[in-house]
Amino acid sequence: MFRLLALSPELVLCVVSFLDQVDLLNVSLSCRSLKEITECELYREYTNPRLYSRPIASFVRRLLQKLSLVTHIKSIDPKDWESLDSLNPEAYETFFDDGTSEDRRKKVLTFDKHRNPEPTEDEYRVSTRIAKEAGIIQEVLPFEAHSTIIETARPMLSTDRAARPTWHTYIFDSSDQRFC
């Protein structure tokens, strides 16, 4: 390892650019100096082989903390990601169909288990500014400390309702907008 550290940072980056992400991660974890040198290569690609395996929120959060890493990204492949449909509280009915209060408590715990924490106000401000500058969004909505979508969905877990594939339309549209 000393021989690798004796090289200039540019040469170390050239060497590690040939490594797979897993091997690169192992090298970066071997010592603090290598971690600092190789961090930009660690963020050169993002792949998510399946839902809940490698949260994209952690990847984005680190990019927001250190914006210089953005210039090193070569590919992003999110494959499956958490969306409103994957958050459907009624999808948990198949696991807990007894209907007892203990089962409902388990549904809430399962629903919250894989969720990432909401962004801080600073993270929200930076990410929305970048998205607006890139033309991805037109308008920046006010920051909410807790997601209104999640807060609206959580009580749905403790009720006995028929499954609806478009459950999230009831969060965004009031009844008068839908039927008038």
pLDDT in tens, 27-62: 999 889 899 999 989 888 888 766 666 777 778 888
Q: Model confidence at 143, in pLDDT bands (50, 70, 90)?
A: confident
In this structure, of 26-30, 91-95, 139-143, the range with the lowest mean pLDDT score is: 91-95
How many residues are given for the chain?
180
Task: Judge whether residue 3 has pLDDT over 70.
Answer: yes
* CA-based end-to-end distance of the chain: 70
The three-class DSSP label of residue 131 is: helix
pTM: 0.54
Among 48-52, 105-109, 117-121, the range of highest mean pLDDT = 117-121
Q: Model confidence at 154, in pLDDT bands (50, 70, 90)?
A: low
Task: Judge whether residue 109 has pLDDT over 70.
Answer: no
